[in-house]
């Protein structure tokens, strides 16, 4: 028996296409996203979404966020900073400053920073009673 020899296929050069996951933007323009930072005294949570707050871009730690944002073509962030609020503390914890510094040092441009801590409009008491003795 004689085998039919396979005819070698011509090797075509395939052009590599660069896939961009982010929006198409001209050079020098900034692409904004919203960065929600929730800070209590023992936990810092950073969450990046698009401008409509409907689609999550990434949520891990601050350094890992910048890498993912740059992959998606995001160059600037608007920051919403939130503390516990309610009957908890109204001031952000120590992680807020370090999270902002990390985002800025790794090359993200910061548009505006807003404090969105929920503050009660009534006289909400903290837990443990009235927090002090009354005479």
What's the predicted TM-score (pTM) here?
0.70
At residue 4, the pLDDT reads 62
Does the structure show a pLDDT above 70 at 132? no
Give me the domains of the chain, ranges plus CATH numbers. 32-103 (3.30.420.80)
CA dihedral 107, 111, 113, 116 (to 10 degrees): -120
At residue 110, the pLDDT reads 94
- The sign of the dihedral angle between the CA atoms of 98, 101, 106, 110 is positive
* Cβ-contact 63, 98 below 8 angstroms: no
Side by side, which strands form the sheet with 109-115?
56-58, 44-49, 32-39, 76-82, 109-115
Instruction: Give the residue-averaged pLDDT of 126-130.
Output: 65
Q: Encode pLDDT of 93-114 as tens digits.
A: 888 898 899 889 988 999 999 9
Structure tokens at 55: 């689609």
Q: Encode pLDDT of 48-107 as tens digits.
A: 888 888 778 777 665 667 778 888 888 899 999 999 988 888 899 888 898 899 889 988
Does the structure show a pLDDT above 60 at 135? no
* Percent of the chain with pLDDT strictly greater than 90: 16
Please give the residue that has the higher pLDDT: either 26 or 11. Answer: 26
At residue 40, the pLDDT reads 86
CA dihedral 84, 86, 91, 96 (to 10 degrees): 20
Q: Which pLDDT band, with edges at 50, 70 and 90, does 44 fall under?
A: confident
């Amino acid at each position: 028996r004689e085998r039919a020899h396979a005819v070698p296929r011509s090797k075509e050069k395939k052009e590599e296409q660069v896939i961009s996951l982010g929006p198409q933007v001209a050079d020098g323009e900034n692409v904004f996203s919203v960065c929600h930072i929730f800070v209590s005294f023992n936990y810092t949570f950073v969450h990046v979404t698009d401008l409509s707050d409907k689609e999550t871009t990434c949520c891990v730690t601050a350094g890992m966020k910048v890498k993912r944002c740059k992959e998606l073509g995001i160059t600037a962030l608007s920051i919403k900073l939130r503390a516990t609020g309610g009957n908890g503390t109204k001031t952000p914890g120590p992680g807020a400053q370090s999270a902002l510094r990390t985002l800025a040092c790794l090359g993200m441009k910061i548009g505006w920073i807003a404090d969105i801590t929920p503050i009660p409009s009534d006289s909400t008491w903290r837990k443990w009673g009235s927090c002090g003795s009354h005479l």
